[in-house]
Chains A and B, each alone.
Chain A
Amino acid sequence: MIKCKTSKAISGMGHSMKRKEDARFLQGKGNYVDDIKLPGMLHMDIVRSPYAYAKIKSIDTSAALAIPGVIAVVTGKDLEQYNLHWMPTLMSDTQMVLPTDTVMYQAQEVAAVIATDRYTARDGKEAVVVEYEPMKPLMNAKKALDADAPVLRTDKEGKTDNHIWHWEAGDKEATEKVFNEAEVVVSQDMYIPRIHVVSIETCGCVADYSKVNNHLTMYMTTQAPHAIRTVIALVAGHVGLTEEKIRVISPDIGGGFGGKVPVYPGYVIAIAVSFLTGAPIKWIEDRTENLQADSFARDYHINVEMAGTKEGKILATRFKVLADHGYTDASANPSKFPTGLFSIGTGSYNYNTAYMEADAVYTNKPPGGVAYRCSFRVTEAVHAIERITDRFAFEVGIDPADLRMQNFIKKEDFPWKSPTGWEYDSGDYHAGLKLAMKTVDYWKLREEQKEKKAQGKLMGIGISTFTEIVGAGPSKDFDILGIKMFDSAEIRVHPTGKAIARFGTKSQGQGHETTYAQIIAEELGIPAENIQIEEGDTDTAPYGLGTYASRSTPTAGAAAAMAARKLRAKAKKIAAYLLEVSEDDLEWEPGKFFVKGAPEKVKTIQEIVFASYTNHPQGMEAGFEATHYYDPPNLTFPSGAYICVVDIDPETIEIKVRRFVAIDDCGNIINPMIVQGQVHGGLTQGIAPAMYEELIYDDAGNILNGTLMDYLVPTAIESPSWETGHTVTPSPHHPIGAKGVGESPTVGAPPAIANAIVDALSHLGVRHLDIPITPYKVWKVLQELKG
């Protein structure tokens, strides 16, 4: 169904080329951080706080230091001497590296033990004695602004409450007016709980500082190596570690999903200790530390309202958010967007009026606000709009599929200006939903549902038709710590016509070594097989902001195409010179230029490249290399139509996803196999928060499910057999018409599942259930409704 312009031998865009990176992973030859072993390397383990909020009265390291093999114990007081005990977060808040007097969440880093091997480091950690004076923690975001709430950030001068920021979008008055006059208004409170990415590889690093060369090589699990290098230079420049003396290497990464964007204290401590000792320091967190202390995602309390007519026309929406950021705002958003891209929440529907506001607060939870396969709060926004759309459909008595069809922005209305100011690039929402409905045989399912209901059986059908926003982003609005969010590609073609290309992004499983090669193959006609891709080494790759938020294809993928086009322009000049014709007489076919009307007069790209080194036109620069920094003119707006069918056992309340059909529109497709793989994985990370995952804290600040024993990551049993398909609406402003896909399914799946479960129970009086929707939660609600 996807037309390819290149042959299979070239494998440009549209070919399901098998992945080039697989061989090493399959044969146990991947190179992940924990696989790195350097001579003289020491191991670090971290002492963590058992309390969510406490004063540190004393830290006794003597017993630890007495253990043979324990080299040092580092505390906040030690780091304070070098002014390294605090660090900036990506949102210009501040975060402790190690505390000097107070701990702010359970599992916070308190001290670091350095030893000759990891077992001894763990022994040392057990032997450090810390005396605490516990205080009553603030765990409920809704109480954070109460007059009697403790002010948590007393380190900030003049801070008298726990408020972090206030944010607004849209038109408040116009929205109020529409709501006041509307025939139908529906309103829903919902909580999108705190969850964790749980990439199967945890975070870690090997910090290798050489005193001789005054040079740091930092091997670490990071999705954004260049940005990290700049951050390290900003934090440690004052002790002599300036940016040219830092090399960040991000080796193979065992899954990221956003959790490997932030700078965690462990990295900084490892650098500090390596700097002081001159020895390489390895720090690898264990799973429990990863779950309990690394950045969380979500934690949004939302009220969403929709106003419309009795006939089902949507007129306006209003959103109010309370964001729980833990003790510091350590989100990984573009600087000007404290709620990320939440304002995409007006959805796929044609109406002009909306208003959103959000307030963020501090609590005694771990810091964060990062991705769970969707960085910028799109998941929260889409959940709200897709749930409230179903609520509205129910209220006006129109089938949710019909109501969506009736309100969709039409294909011909793109580019479309959203009520919160975005310009959607393209889309065909009707086609997507139509295909999804046809695939599941929607109306027949509705018939079946009626029959089942009559027999007392519970079956539900849920739809989600979402608009995503990815590819951050245009440099006029998008930066992180002031660095604009462009991305880059550098292509070097060797004399024999084979190439190496380097990028500022970093794959964590997305298959860049294959897809970037395909983009270049598409543009230059050099077989993708012969194009080697490298990422993740700041010494060799051009500067870029990294891989997250589905931005790699929209930004670096575009950069690859643009750099390749520079080379094709050069190739044309050389071909004209070699064939002794004017450039205007030449025509391009993947892999060669030939003379119009005389196809036998031809120069292949390989011949042209060879000539660029051996016989280039006088006056032209020799060689065949190009670099491009791509600054996107707009974001891209992928979309999707998902339908979920669930059966619920009325006795046991077991919830079973019978079918799940996902139709995605990510524009032009580079590699259908890889896109499908991304969709499958994203869907499983969509069912996870919808039905299983949530980080739960008690009032005393204890995390109740901080291990993989009780934080429920779906296995192959919970994960249904996904059915996927596509509509293709190219992005008009993107060089290859692609939009990005990685996070779409994680964004789109949860409301489809929640809508299906609520749909199965609506005749019993259920109007809404917060995710994760567990059998116990459903059972409790049904008991309450029975009275």
Chain B
Amino acid sequence: MAREITVTVNGTPHTLEVENRLLLVHLIREKINLTGTHIGCDTSNCGACTILLNGKSVKSCTILAVQANGKEIQTVEGLAAPGEMHPLQEGFKENHGLHCGFCTPGMLMRSVELLEDNPNPTEEEIRWGISGNLCRCTGYNNIVKAIQWASAKMRGEETPSTEPEFVS
């Protein structure tokens, strides 16, 4: 069973014929060929597939492509023009918020909504806010720091130092 749907991905409308059972993440990765959105599990636990659907962060492995019909999708590729960076992308780079980069697109997309809802979150709020996204590499310290850094930048405030802090 297939049907025609129209989705707008990063501002560009796409009309495609899709199988009813096609997952949104596969639509994005394999039909629209945007492979920045990743797949890390089959139980909706890891968040590697997180995108924005009409501005809300969702796990795109948990939604059917047909449910996105008529909706706006934003993926990591749409965060900034190629070669440019959204403050969150910059924050992750400056604060070493990524190692292998596999969880990163999902973390970034989740953080976009987190900062929209709460432009000045505490560490605790950030930790709860990203608790639906798993990272196996970073130990989360620097992801928290990256989001704090981006939130300062987005509020137009001075950004905290990005030098690593050591006890001595």
Binding site for B on A (CB under 8 A): 1, 16, 18-19, 21-30, 32, 34-35, 37, 118-119, 197-202, 252-255, 257, 286-288, 435, 439, 508-511, 661, 663, 672-674, 676-685, 707-709, 713, 715-717, 719, 721-726
Pairwise interchain contact B140-A725, C-beta atoms closer than 8 A:
no
Pairwise interchain contact B46-A200, C-beta atoms closer than 8 A:
yes
In the complex, which of the residues A254, A676, A725 contacts B101, with contact meaning CB atoms closer than 8 Å?
A254
**Chain A nearest CB: distance from B50 CB in Å?**
12
Pairwise interchain contact A16-B163, C-beta atoms closer than 8 A:
yes
The segment from B52-60, B88-96, B151-159 that touches chain A is: B88-96
**Chain B nearest CB: distance from A758 CB in Å?**
24
Pairwise interchain contact B40-A287, C-beta atoms closer than 8 A:
yes
What are the residues of chain A within 8 A of B19 when measuring CB–CB?
119
Given A200-B100, A707-B42, CB of A509 within 8 Å of CB of B37: no
Q: What are 30 inter-chain pairs, A to B, with CB distance below 8 A?
A: A18-B96, A24-B101, A26-B89, A26-B93, A27-B76, A29-B77, A30-B101, A30-B102, A34-B35, A34-B39, A37-B30, A197-B136, A199-B136, A200-B46, A200-B136, A201-B102, A254-B102, A288-B42, A676-B166, A677-B99, A677-B137, A681-B99, A709-B45, A713-B45, A716-B127, A716-B143, A716-B144, A721-B141, A721-B144, A722-B139
**Chain B nearest CB: distance from A711 CB in Å?**
9
Complex alpha-carbon distance, A716 and B99, angstroms: 16
Is the CB of B1 closer than 8 A to any CB of chain A?
no
**Chain B nearest CB: distance from A21 CB in Å?**
8
**How many B residues are at the interface, by size bracket?**
35 or more
What are the residues of chain B within 8 A of A713 when measuring CB–CB?
45, 134, 136
Pairwise interchain contact B75-A200, C-beta atoms closer than 8 A:
no
Given A253-B100, A722-B141, CB of A27 within 8 Å of CB of B89: yes
What are the residues of chain B within 8 A of A288 when measuring CB–CB?
42-43
Given A680-B141, A685-B136, A707-B43, CB of A717 within 8 Å of CB of B128: yes
Among residues of B, the one whose C-beta sits closest to the C-beta of A683 is B139
Pairwise interchain contact B100-A509, C-beta atoms closer than 8 A:
yes
Binding site for A on B (CB under 8 A): 19, 21-22, 26, 29-30, 33-43, 45-46, 48, 75-77, 79-80, 82, 85, 89, 92-94, 96, 98-105, 108, 123, 126-128, 130-144, 163-164, 166-168
Complex alpha-carbon distance, A663 and B166, angstroms: 9
What are the residues of chain A within 8 A of B135 when measuring CB–CB?
200, 716
Pairwise interchain contact B136-A25, C-beta atoms closer than 8 A:
no
Among residues of A, the one whose C-beta sits closest to the C-beta of B82 is A27
**Chain B nearest CB: distance from A105 CB in Å?**
20
Among residues of B, the one whose C-beta sits closest to the C-beta of A22 is B93
Among residues of B, the one whose C-beta sits closest to the C-beta of A510 is B99
What are the residues of chain A within 8 A of B36 when measuring CB–CB?
27-30
**Chain A nearest CB: distance from B78 CB in Å?**
9
Pairwise interchain contact B131-A716, C-beta atoms closer than 8 A:
yes
Pairwise interchain contact B96-A19, C-beta atoms closer than 8 A:
yes
What are the residues of chain B within 8 A of A286 when measuring CB–CB?
41-42
What are the residues of chain B within 8 A of A663 when measuring CB–CB?
167
Pairwise interchain contact A22-B98, C-beta atoms closer than 8 A:
yes
Complex alpha-carbon distance, A715 and B144, angstroms: 12
What are the residues of chain A within 8 A of B76 when measuring CB–CB?
26-28
Given A286-B42, A680-B142, A716-B131, CB of A672 within 8 Å of CB of B166: yes
Pairwise interchain contact B167-A509, C-beta atoms closer than 8 A:
no
In the complex, which of the residues B26, B35, B37, B40 contacts A200, with contact meaning CB atoms closer than 8 Å?
B40
What are the residues of chain A within 8 A of B39 when measuring CB–CB?
34
Complex alpha-carbon distance, A722 and B126, angstroms: 16
What are the residues of chain A within 8 A of B42 when measuring CB–CB?
286-288, 707
Among residues of B, the one whose C-beta sits closest to the C-beta of A286 is B42
Given A202-B40, A286-B42, A672-B164, CB of A680 within 8 Å of CB of B139: yes
Knowing that A119-B22, A681-B99 are A-B contacts, what are 8 other residue pairs whose CB atoms are under 8 Å apart, sorted by A's residue number?
A: A26-B92, A28-B105, A200-B40, A255-B100, A673-B96, A676-B166, A683-B139, A715-B133
